[in-house]
Amino acid sequence: TAFAEQASLSLDNVSFTYEKQPFPAIKNVSLNLQSGEHIALLGRTGCGKSTLLQLLTRAWDPQQGTILLNDRPLTDYDEATLREMMVVVTQRVHIFSATLRNNLLLAAPDASDEQLTSALIKVGLDALLEQDGLNTWIGEGGRQISGGEQRRIGLARALLHKAPLILLDEPTEGLDANTEHQILMLLKEHCQHKSVILITHRLSGLERMNQIYVMDAGRIIEQGTHHSL
Ligand code: ATP
Ligand code: MG
């Protein structure tokens, strides 16, 4: 499969049950993401948001229903193509004990120092560059990275990645309202032509999302815009 510049997703009646679990974690979920759209998945803890994201990355495959990526079944794609087409920022961003540069290069091996620096500035991490620039050692044995900083590094990786589909699992969790606002603006500005799925607990700040899906107990219970919800 050739590398695609665009990504659309279509889920039709998708259900998924974890092994040895009595009840499905995802129940009859249908949703559409057009190329270039930004949608949010909203819902309380345990409702299935991260599980749904994991179905998109094929960490698991649903037992029922279909998932199409650019109108082709997700199961048709080889692993390498999927990794090129989507970048995922998980709830716990992994920081390697390595330089800032190497922590970012894993998302974009060809990126120049200028591009890396620019991504760090966009996510508001300029302060990390103060002492040793991109050579600053972070993680174990280096500069300690707070939870908020970890999420920003995850975001910087997503901004640097060439994938047309960005999946973000609660990138603003634990951040103050002002920082959350900045990050949502940043997404809007720098991911305009990309397709984005943003997972979050809160409806606030989602005014610019094309569509918001509210989940409860594995189902989509509401769908609309910030205005209509
Ligand atoms: P949060 O907002 O707390 O991150 P979530 O909406 O992302 O929650 P999920 O992590 O998708 O929720 O979990 C959905 C349900 O599936 C929960 O009941 C959870 O306990 C269960 N679950 C999650 N991962 C597994 C797993 N690996 N094996 C079995 N059950 C799981
Ligand atoms: Mg989750």
The pTM of the full predicted model, rounded to 2 decimals, is 0.93
| Closest to 9 measured CA to CA, from 94, 67, 48 | 67
**What pLDDT sits at residue 55?**
98
DSSP string, 62-107: -SEEEEEETTEEGGGS-HHHHHHHEEEE-SS----SEEHHHHHHTT
Cβ atoms of 85 and 57 within 8 Å: the answer is no
Report pLDDT digits (tens) over 190-227: 898 999 999 998 888 899 899 999 999 999 999 999 99
What phi and psi values does residue 2 have, to the nearest 5 degrees? Answer: -75, 150
Which of 17, 51, 61 maximizes ligand 1 atoms within 8 Å of its Cβ, making it the mutation to test the pocket?
51
Cβ atoms of 68 and 41 within 8 Å: the answer is no
Which of 50, 55, 89 maximizes ligand 1 atoms within 8 Å of its Cβ, making it the mutation to test the pocket?
50
Report pLDDT digits (tens) over 28-67: 999 999 999 999 999 999 999 999 999 999 999 999 999 9
- The interface predicted TM-score (ipTM) is 0.98
Across 12-16, 107-111, 162-166, 178-182, least confident range: 178-182
| Ligand 1 neighbourhood includes 214 CB (under 6 angstroms) | no
Residue of minimum CA distance from atom 30 in ligand 1: 18
Cβ atoms of 150 and 93 within 8 Å: the answer is yes
Report pLDDT digits (tens) over 67-86: 999 999 999 999 999 999 99
CA 50 / ligand 2 centre spacing (Å): 4
CATH 3.40.50.300 fits 9-224, yes or no: yes
Spatial distance between the Cα atoms of 189 and 47, rounded to a whole number of angstroms:
29
